Amino acid sequence: AQSVTQLGSHVSVSEGALVLLRCNYSSSVPPYLFWYVQYPNQGLQLLLKYTSAATLVKGINGFEAEFKKSETSFHLTKPSAHMSDAAEYFCAVIPSGYSTLTFGKGTMLLVSP
């Protein structure tokens, strides 16, 4: 079965620092990949998605992610963290030929002043 691994349940950064959230997937065939963000007591909001058109994907709020097939990774980055980025981030995958999302366990991003 397809799986998604997010390294680190919590990541802490200072405001203005680089944000790096890690995601690895297990698949021999590149799947569709997504990053979602969840603010407290809200639903999930799509940040960006990879669908094989380009390996570097730009999303909302200054986030981007790079698909690396050789590393089976899809890490999320943002050059400069803002206090408003504090939230939980989920990596998710739809395996090729399937129609359901499988989620990682999430990474809580904490941003300190």
Partner 1 sequence: DAGITQSPRHKVTETGTPVTLRCHQTENHRYMYWYRQDPGHGLRLIHYSYGVKDTDKGEVSDGYSVSRSKTEDFLLTLESATSSQTSVYFCAISASGKGSEAFFGQGTRLTVV
Among 98, 110, 111, 112, binds partner 1 (CB under 8 A): 98
DSSP per-residue codes, the chain: --EEEEE-SEEEEETTSPEEEEEEEE-SS--EEEEEEE-TTS-EEEEEEE-SS-SEEE-GGG-EEEEEGGGTEEEEEESS--GGG-EEEEEEEE-TT----EE---EEEEEE-
Contacts of 82 (CB under 8 A, 6+ apart): 15, 111
Contact flag: residue 27 with partner 1 (CB under 8 A): no
Contact flag: residue 100 with partner 1 (CB under 8 A): yes
Contact flag: residue 110 with partner 1 (CB under 8 A): no
Instruction: Report in angstroms how near the CB of residue 84 gets to partner 1 at its nearest.
Output: 18
Contact flag: residue 20 with partner 1 (CB under 8 A): no
Contact flag: residue 102 with partner 1 (CB under 8 A): yes
Contact flag: residue 7 with partner 1 (CB under 8 A): no
How many residues bind partner 1 (CB under 8 A)? The answer is: 24
Interacting residues with partner 1 (CB under 8 A): 9, 32, 34, 36, 41-46, 49, 51, 90, 94, 97-106
